[in-house]
Structure 1
Amino acid sequence: MTTFPADLDPELVERLVESGGGELAVKMGIEFVELSADHSVATMPVEGNRQVVGLLHGGAHVVLAESLGSVSSAIHAGPGRFAVGIEIGATHSRSVTSGTVTATCTALSLGGTLATHEIVVRDEEGRRLSTVRMTNMLRDKR
């Protein structure tokens, strides 16, 4: 069950609830646990997201991180605005072959035009698997 901040844009909540966070997030089994501009958490199963040798795909780490960072940035942007990713970089430091991974997103900078987050993906034992930094541009809806 996702925890939403009380002052979250109702339109964004509706889109998140109706879409499950987007088609790719649904396909990958991403579940949003806690959402805010400053701190967000999501989980994803390893099963179904592994590459050919059985490890969680590095791209799956990035999809999980980008999904979480994008929503956090959209929350920061607020009503009448949206976030678009302009930069993302990942460092993978450990692999995993089973279980569930948890991503924790922390705001590094929340400005009027840019939002930057660090997303750390950990395994069930709390070991860091990857570190992702993402920057989103905040735009007004037309």
Structure 2
Amino acid sequence: MSDKFTPDGGVPEHVQASAGATIAELVDAGVPEHLHRWLVHTGVGPLVVKMGIVFSEMTPQRIVASMPVEGNTQVAGILHGGAHVVLAETLGSFAAALHAGAGRHAVGIEVGASHHRSVSSGLVTGTATAIQLGQSLTVHEVVMTDDEGRRLSTARITNMIRDNR
């Protein structure tokens, strides 16, 4: 595995029992089992759950996730531009955190997006690809596409890597 967390067969039974709702949240969000230990105490975050983001691939170099348009629209009935940015920042931040590894964390310091096309139904898929994975900074490009593979928006997120206190 290319992340900096050691897969060891998942989360121990006693952790699953004490954090069962969080484990269910991780499963529902598509988080691979070998990453459950890493996220068992924090989950994926309330906004990720609220937006309906589900991961299908998770490495520091590339993270892919989808979210429904329904429930994430603006008053005109199209996907809210902020929803694009939420998906982009979620993917870039998770990728940066995976790169940071145990004892370190990622903090977003810049995010920007360009919107190319609107969408009013279906799923939006975001693919974050690493541009730079350094010791103190990571940069990811995130491309959001519709069900037909058409590019909806392009974002770039920079994260600073810090040691835990």
TM-score normalised to structure 2 length: 0.78
Give the counterpart of 2:125 among 87, 102, 107: 102
**Residues 1:53 and 2:76 aligned together:** yes
Partner of 2:16: none
Please report how far the alpha carbon of residue 3 of structure 1 lies from its aligned counterpart in structure 2 after TM superposition.
3.5
Identity over aligned pairs, percent: 59
Matched, 1:30 2:53: yes
Tell me which of 92, 100, 103 is aligned to 1:69: 92
Q: Which has the higher strand share?
A: 1
Give the structure 1 partner of residue 31 of structure 2.
Answer: 2
**Structure 1 residue 113 displacement after superposition:** 0.2
Cα displacement string for residues 100-130 of structure 1 (whole angstroms, at most 9, x for unaligned residues) = 0100010000000000000000000000000
CA distance in 1, matches of 2:96, 2:37: 15
The 1-side partners of 2:145 and 2:32 are apart by: 20
* Structure 1 Cα separation of the partners of residues 32 and 83 of structure 2: 23
> 1:97, 1:2 → 2: CA distance?
27
CA distance in 2, matches of 1:65, 1:56: 14
Identify unmatched segments of 5+ residues in structure 2: 1-29
Question: What is the identity, as a one-letter code, of the residue corresponding to 1:94?
Answer: R
Give structure 1 stretches of 5+ with no counterpart. none
In 1: Cα distance, 2:104 partner to 2:31 partner: 22
Letter aligned with residue 48 of structure 2: A
Structure label with greater radius of gyration: 2
- CA–CA distance in 2 between the matches of 1:87 and 1:111? 16
> Which protein has greater RCO, CA pairs closer than 8 Å, 6+ apart?
1
**What count of residue pairs does the alignment treat as equivalent?**
136
After TM superposition, the runs of 4+ consecutive aligned structure 1 residues lying more than 3 A away are: 1-4
Three-state SS of the structure 2 residue aligned to 1:105 is: strand
Q: Return the offset for 1:33.
A: 1.3
RMSD over equivalenced CA pairs, Å: 1.4
CA displacement 1:14-62 (0-9 Å, x = unmatched): 24xx62x110010110111111100110000000000000010000000
| Alignment partners' CA distance in 2, 1:113 and 1:100 | 34
Are residues 1:138 and 2:164 paired? no
